[in-house]
């Protein structure tokens, strides 16, 4: 996407650093979002209502490593509970 392209232009190795945080071992592509959207719009999802479907490669599913690294980068080694 244009936003990510601007980031890549500034820091070409950004995805190599981010991929370690994703349990699926890769950074998502626009097609990953499109596929989930197409599924939810399809007849196969006709019984799904009022649900949240995270399409994030597992990134926000309690990613302790990411949290620790971001806190360390920000100069705060202590995890708040």
pLDDT tens sequence across 3-26? 888 888 998 888 888 888 888 888
Higher pLDDT, 46 or 22: 46
CB 63 within 8 A of CB 21: yes
Domain count, the chain: 1
Within-domain flag for 38: yes
In which domain, by residue range, is 35 found? 2-73
CB 24 within 8 A of CB 55: no
Within-domain flag for 26: yes
Q: What is the CA radius of gyration of the chain?
A: 16
DSSP 74: T
| pLDDT at 45 (0 to 100) | 96
Within-domain flag for 47: yes
**What CATH code is carried by the domain that includes residue 38?**
1.10.8
pLDDT for residue 81 is more than 50: no
Express as a percent the part of the chain with pLDDT over 70: 91
pTM: 0.66
Residue 79 in 3-state DSSP? coil
């Amino acid at each position: 996407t244009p936003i990510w392209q601007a980031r890549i232009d500034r820091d070409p190795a950004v995805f190599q650093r981010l991929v370690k945080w994703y349990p699926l071992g890769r950074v998502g592509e626009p097609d990953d979002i499109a596929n989930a959207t197409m599924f939810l719009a399809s007849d196969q999802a006709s019984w799904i209502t009022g649900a949240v479907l995270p399409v994030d490669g597992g990134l926000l599913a309690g990613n302790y490593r990411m949290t620790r690294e971001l806190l360390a980068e920000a100069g705060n080694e202590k995890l708040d509970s």
